[in-house]
Structures are given as structure tokens and as C-alpha cells.
Amino acid sequence: MRYKEIVGLARGSADNLRAWELARADEIERQLVDAQAAVAAARDREEKAQERAKRWWKMALHNVSRLSFVEALDDPEPVTTARPQYLDRYLEEVKPSYQELVQAVLGLGWRAKR
């Protein structure tokens, strides 16, 4: 009787462990799918931010090209130390800076000398 009781407990423990492992595997798979979705969303957001930055850079180059005494350099390199959680803040700083550049270019142009 005692032997059957011990075997039953061992079998029950094995079944419980198997059920826990299957549940944990399902949970890990769900977390993996969520993480892959988050990575895809972050990659998409990064690509959009890069496109936006390139457009601003091209517009700035176009404005600066009007000045004969300013030589445009190569495209800027990405800043690897930038914090991704501040991306919106960084992007918000671009438009006012661009507008300041436009005003400076307009002020330095030969037409402004009149």
C-alpha cells in the first residue's frame, strides 16, 4: 500500500511538473512573440525617424547651398549614445533649429544686404 502511495505521489508530482513546464513554455513563447513585435515596432519607428532626419538634413543643405561662402559637409553620422526614450524630444528640437537656420541664411544672403 505504501509503495502504491509513493508511486502515485511521484506520478502526480511528475504530472504537475510537466504541466508547469508546458505552461511556462507557452508563457515564454507569448513573451517571445511580444518581444518580436516590440522589436519590429522599434525598427519601424527608427526607420521613420531616419527618413525624417534625412529630409530635414536635405532641406538644411538646400538652404545653406545658397550661401557661396559655406561648404556643406557629408551627411551627419548617427549618435550612438542617444537615448531612444528621448526620440520624440530630439525630433521636437529639429524644427525650431531648422527655422533658426533658415532665418540665419536669409539674413546672410546677398538679398538681405539691401
The grid cell for 11 is: 506520478
Determine how many CB atoms are found less than 10 A away from the CB of residue 84: 10
Contact between 98 and 59 under an 8 Å Cβ cutoff? The reply is yes
Q: Write out the H or E segment, with its range, that includes residue 87.
A: helix 87-108
Let me know if 90 is exposed, middle or buried by CB neighbors in 10 A (0-12, 13-18, 19+).
Answer: middle
Determine how many CB atoms are found less than 10 A away from the CB of residue 112: 9
Summarize pLDDT for 60-105 with one digit per residue, the tens. Answer: 888 888 777 777 777 778 888 888 888 888 888 888 888 898 888 8
Summarize pLDDT for 27-49 with one digit per residue, the tens. Answer: 999 999 999 999 999 899 889 98
Model confidence at 109, pLDDT cuts 50, 70, 90, reads low
